[in-house]
Chain A
Amino acid sequence: MNLQLRPAIVSFIAISVLTGVAYPLLVTGLGKAIFPRQAGGSLIRKGGQVIGSEWIAQSFTSPRDFWSRPSATVDANNKPLPYNGANSGGSNLAPSNPDLAKAVTERIAALQAADPETRDPVPVDLVTASGSGLDPHISPASAAYQVRRVAKARGLDEAKVRDLVSAHIEPPQFGVLGEARVNVLKLNLALDGLGSK
C-alpha cells in the first residue's frame, strides 16, 4: 500500500504555514492597521498611564464608587484574587451548592452595610459572580440600586448621579441582542469628573 507519507508531510507543513503563521500574522497586521485601539485591548489611559481596559472589570470597594459584579478569579496558587485579568474564570458553583447561597447572602449583607437604609431586593447580577470574573458591566437596575450610596458618599445630588447613570446605559444592540448594561469603569471615571461638593 502506498504510505502517503510525502503528501501527508507536505500538506501538513503547507497548511501549518498558511493557517498557523501567515493567517494569524496577517490578521494581526491588518487588525493593528484598521482597528488599532480594539486590537490592543481597548485600553483607557489617564495622564499617559494605562489605567485599565474598557472591557475588563476592576475592583471597586469604596462606597464612593459603583461596584462591579463579583469576581471568582484566583491567583497562580489558586487563592482568591478577584478581577485577575491574567487568569479568567467563574466560580463553577452549582445552583444547589450551599456555598453559592452563602456567598450571595454575604454580598447582600455587604451592600446593605454600605447603605443601611436600603431594603430593596438586590438585582441578581450584582451579587452573582460573572463567568469570566472580568465582566465590565452591571445592569441598569444594579446601578440604580447603588445611586443613593454613591451620591451620599460623594456628597452629590442623587438626581445628578442618576442622570449620569442614565447617560451611561447602553441598550440591547439593535433592540434584541444581549442586555441593557452600564460599563462600571467608564461610569466611575465620569463620576470622578463631576467632582464633589
Chain B
Amino acid sequence: MSHAWSQNLLYLALLLSLAFPLGTYMAKVLEGGRTFLHPVLGSLEQGLYRLMGIREDEDMGWKAYAWSITLIKLLGLAAVFLLMKTQAALPLNPEHQANVATGLSINTAVSFITNTNWQAYSGETTLSYLTQMLGLTVQNFLSAATGIAVLVALIRGITRRNATGLGNAWVDLVRSTLYILLPMSFVFALFLVSQGVIQNLSAYIHTAGGQVLAMGPAASQVAIKMLGTNGGGFFGANAAHPFENSSPLSNFVQILSILLIPAALCVTFGHMVKDRRQGWALLAAMTLIFVGALTVCTHAEVKGNPALSPLGVTQVASRVAGQEQPGGNMEGKELRFGPGGSALWATATTAASNGSVNAMHDSFTPLGGLVPMWLMQLGEVVFGGVGSGLYGMLMFALVGVFIGGLMVGRTPEYLGKKVEAFEMKMASIAILLPCAAVLIGAAISVLVANAAASVSNPGPHGFSQILYAWSSASNNNGSAFGGLSVNTPFYNYGLALAMLLGRFGVIWPVLALSGSLVKKKHTPEGLGTLPTHTPLFVGVLVGVVLLVGALTFIPALALGPIAEHLALR
C-alpha cells in the first residue's frame, strides 16, 4: 500500500488538534485581549492607531466597514500595478526584468488584491525582487487580513443586539496582521529556509556546466502565501519547485499551513459567539466533505493513468527495500512528494482559496482533477480561504436554517437572530454570484474563437482547462490547468473581472447582511428553533453545500472530466 493513506491520517489528526489552541488565541486577539506578543508589539499597535488618527473603540456601520476594506484594496491595486509598470527602473532587480505589459499587470494586481493569486506569468522570468516583496508579499498579508476582518464583522453582526456598529475595520486589519499573520509567517519562513527553501537577494547563479539557477527572497513570500491562503508562487512551478518546497517535511508542513488558520477560525467563531459547539459543528461539516474529496483524489492519483499501462511502464507502488517506487500518475509530479503528497496538496489547496500547487493539476487523472475543480466550485467553503471560507460557510448555514425552517413552518433563526427575506437575498447573492461567473465565463470562452484556441489538450480535457480557469478565478483560488494559454487580452481582463466579482461580490453582501443582523434583537430559543450544533444540522449543512454544488455544476463537469474519465482506458 502506498504511504499516502497514513500521511493523510496524520494530516487530519494534526490539523484538527492544532486548530484548537490557535483558534482560542485568535479569538483573544480579535476581541482585543492581551496576548504574549503585546509586550513586544503593543506599543507599535497603539502608535499605528495614533498615526492613522483613529480610536480603537470607534465603531463603523456596515457601509463604512465595507468601504474601508474596498479602499485599502484599491490602494493595493494601484501599488502593485505601478510597481510592475516601473520595476525596470527600480532597485532589487539584479536580472533586469523588464516592465510588465498593461494587461498582465492589471490581471496580476487584481489577482493579488482579491486573494486569488492567479498567475498568468512565471515569477522567475517576469518579476523583480522588489515587485515580489513590496508588491505581492504585502498583498498576501493584506488580503488575508481583510478576510479575517470581514469574518469578524459578520460574527459581530450575529452577536451584537440592537446595535449598528460592526467594529473598526482598521483595528481588525492591524490586529490580524500584527498578532496573527506576521509572527506566524516569520517563524514559518525560517523553518522553510532550514529545509532548503531559498532566501537571498543574489543574482541568478550560472554554474560551471552552463545551468542557470533562479534565486530570490522565496521563503518569506512562501510562508505568507501558504498561511494566508493566497497561493501565488515565487517561481513558475509554484510549490513543485524544489527551491520553494524542498523536502517531504516542508511539503507536509506547507499543506498543514494551508488549512490551519481556516480550520482554527471555526474554533474562534465558537469562542466569539459564546457557544463552542457552534464552531465545532461547522468544523465537522467541513471535515466531512474534505475527507470524501481527499479519498477520491488520492485513490485516483495513486492508481495511475490507464493510458500508460500498455506501454511497458509499472505504476504499482513498491516498498521492497532497494526497489521502492511511488508508482501512480507521476506526470507533472515531484518524486519526493509522490502521488499521495500531491493529491493531499491538491485537495487542501482547492478546499481553501489557496491555489498553490505542488504538482501540475492539468496532468492529474480525470477524477483526480475533478476533485479540486469541484471543491472550488462549491465556493471554497470547506475550510476555505482565511476568513472567506468561514463567512462563505455561514452563508450556507443561513440557507440551511432557512430550509429547515420551511420544513417545520417557523421563521428560521440562527444563533438568536431571525433570518428574514433580506438576509436570504444577501446570502443567495453571495453564493450564486461566483457560480454565475464560472458558468457564464466558461460558456463565453467556448464560443469566442480566440479564447477557445488557448486550449492545449485535445478532447474533453480542453473544456476542463477552460472550466477550471473560470472556477479558479471566480472563487479566488488561483490554481490552474496550466496548459491553457491565459496571458491573452481575453483571459487577462475577463478573469480579472471574475476575480473582482468573486471577492467584492461576496464581501459586500456579507457585510450588508451583517449590518442587518446587528440591528435585530435577540430571539430566545423556542420549541421551533432548529439547533445548529447537532449532527442533524451538520448533515443539513453538508447536504445544502453539496446540493447547490451538484445542481449547478454537474452538467458542466459531465462535459469535461467525467467524459474524459469514461473515454480513458
Chain A residues in contact with chain B, CB under 8 A?
Answer: 1-2, 4-12, 14-16, 18-21, 23-24, 26-28, 30-32, 34-35, 38-43, 46, 49-56, 58, 69, 76, 83-98, 100-101, 104-105, 108, 121-125, 127-142, 144, 162, 165-166, 169, 172-174, 176-181
Q: Residue B199 contacts which of A39, A96, A124 (CB distance < 8 angstroms)?
A: A39
Q: Residue A179 contacts which of B137, B248, B312, B323 (CB distance < 8 angstroms)?
A: B248
A24 touches B221 (CB 8 A): yes
Chain A residues positioned under 8 Å from B6 (CB to CB): 176
Chain B residues positioned under 8 Å from A125 (CB to CB): 325-326, 330, 335
A124 touches B327 (CB 8 A): yes
> Which residues of chain B from 301 to 323 have any CB-CB distance to chain A below 8 Å in the complex?
304-305, 307-308, 311-315, 318-319, 322-323
Q: Does B38 contact A (CB under 8 A)?
A: no
Chain A minimum-CB-distance residue to B205: A50
A1 to B193, CA, bound (A): 47
Chain B residues positioned under 8 Å from A53 (CB to CB): 205, 213, 243
Q: Does B334 contact A (CB under 8 A)?
A: yes
Q: Residue A12 contacts which of B75, B219, B325 (CB distance < 8 angstroms)?
A: B75
Chain B residues positioned under 8 Å from A50 (CB to CB): 205, 207-208
Shortest beta-carbon distance, B47 to chain A, in Å?
9
Chain A residues positioned under 8 Å from B461 (CB to CB): 94, 96-97
Chain B minimum-CB-distance residue to A29: B199
Q: Does B211 contact A (CB under 8 A)?
A: yes
Q: Does B107 contact A (CB under 8 A)?
A: no
A11 to B251, CA, bound (A): 33
A89 to B49, CA, bound (A): 44
A32 to B190, CA, bound (A): 10
Contact A121-B313, Cβ < 8 Å, known A86-B213, A178-B341 = yes
Contact A55-B242, Cβ < 8 Å, known A11-B72, A144-B322 = yes
A97 to B213, CA, bound (A): 31
Chain A minimum-CB-distance residue to B339: A179
Q: Does B337 contact A (CB under 8 A)?
A: yes
B332 touches A134 (CB 8 A): no
6 intermolecular pairs with C-beta atoms under 8 Å apart: A7-B54, A15-B173, A40-B202, A41-B200, A132-B334, A177-B251
Shortest beta-carbon distance, A92 to chain B, in Å?
3
* Majority DSSP secondary structure for residues of A touching B: mixed
A124 to B308, CA, bound (A): 9
Number of residues in B with C-beta < 8 Å to the partner? Answer: 131
Chain A residues positioned under 8 Å from B313 (CB to CB): 104, 108, 121-124, 127
> Which residues of chain B from 361 to 390 have any CB-CB distance to chain A below 8 Å in the complex?
362-366
Contact A138-B186, Cβ < 8 Å, known A90-B363, A95-B363 = no
A12 touches B211 (CB 8 A): no
Contact A42-B324, Cβ < 8 Å, known A19-B137, A87-B122, A96-B564 = no
Chain B residues positioned under 8 Å from A41 (CB to CB): 198, 200, 205, 213, 215, 243
Chain A residues positioned under 8 Å from B365 (CB to CB): 95
A83 touches B199 (CB 8 A): no
A17 to B39, CA, bound (A): 21
A90 touches B332 (CB 8 A): yes
A21 to B67, CA, bound (A): 27
- Interface stretch among B391-399, B412-420, B452-460, B532-540? B452-460
Chain B residues positioned under 8 Å from A55 (CB to CB): 196, 242-243, 246
B331 touches A11 (CB 8 A): no
Chain B residues positioned under 8 Å from A177 (CB to CB): 3, 7, 248-249, 251-252, 341
A35 to B7, CA, bound (A): 28
Q: Does B438 contact A (CB under 8 A)?
A: no
Given contacts A92-B362, A140-B322, 8 further A-B contacts (CB under 8 A): A27-B199, A41-B205, A90-B240, A92-B481, A94-B363, A96-B568, A169-B322, A179-B338
Shortest beta-carbon distance, A50 to chain B, in Å?
5
Q: Residue A83 contacts which of B145, B211, B304, B331 (CB distance < 8 angstroms)?
A: B211
Residue from A2, A91, A144 having most chain B Cβ neighbours under 10 A = A91
A87 touches B314 (CB 8 A): no
A124 to B313, CA, bound (A): 6
B311 touches A128 (CB 8 A): no
A28 to B72, CA, bound (A): 27
Chain B residues positioned under 8 Å from A127 (CB to CB): 313
B248 touches A172 (CB 8 A): yes
A69 touches B457 (CB 8 A): no
A86 touches B325 (CB 8 A): no
Q: Residue B332 contacts which of A131, A137, A176 (CB distance < 8 angstroms)?
A: A131
Chain A residues positioned under 8 Å from B213 (CB to CB): 41, 52-53, 56, 85-86
A39 to B93, CA, bound (A): 18
Chain A minimum-CB-distance residue to B567: A96
A38 touches B197 (CB 8 A): yes
Contact A8-B124, Cβ < 8 Å, known A49-B208, A121-B312, A173-B249 = no
Shortest beta-carbon distance, A158 to chain B, in Å?
13
Chain B residues positioned under 8 Å from A142 (CB to CB): 325
Chain A minimum-CB-distance residue to B221: A24
Chain A residues positioned under 8 Å from B200 (CB to CB): 28, 31-32, 39-41
Chain A minimum-CB-distance residue to B196: A38
Shortest beta-carbon distance, B201 to chain A, in Å?
6
Q: Does B185 contact A (CB under 8 A)?
A: yes
B564 touches A94 (CB 8 A): yes
Residue from B63, B145, B360, B568 having most chain A Cβ neighbours under 10 A = B360
Contact A15-B142, Cβ < 8 Å, known A38-B196, A130-B240 = yes
A7 touches B170 (CB 8 A): yes
B63 touches A4 (CB 8 A): no
> Which residues of chain B from 163 to 184 have any CB-CB distance to chain A below 8 Å in the complex?
170, 173-174, 177, 182
Q: Residue A8 contacts which of B71, B249, B334 (CB distance < 8 angstroms)?
A: B71
Contact A90-B211, Cβ < 8 Å, known A27-B220, A31-B219, A123-B314 = no
A173 to B333, CA, bound (A): 18
Q: Does B10 contact A (CB under 8 A)?
A: yes
A38 to B215, CA, bound (A): 12
A134 touches B242 (CB 8 A): yes
A108 touches B312 (CB 8 A): yes
Contact A140-B323, Cβ < 8 Å, known A16-B79, A24-B137 = yes
A179 touches B307 (CB 8 A): no
> Which residues of chain B from 206 to 234 have any CB-CB distance to chain A below 8 Å in the complex?
207-209, 211-215, 217, 219-221, 223-224
Shortest beta-carbon distance, B486 to chain A, in Å?
12
> Which residues of chain B from 2 to 21 have any CB-CB distance to chain A below 8 Å in the complex?
3, 6-7, 10
Q: Does B329 contact A (CB under 8 A)?
A: yes
Contact A11-B214, Cβ < 8 Å, known A38-B198, A91-B331, A140-B322 = no
A97 to B363, CA, bound (A): 9
Residue from B71, B304, B564 having most chain A Cβ neighbours under 10 A = B71
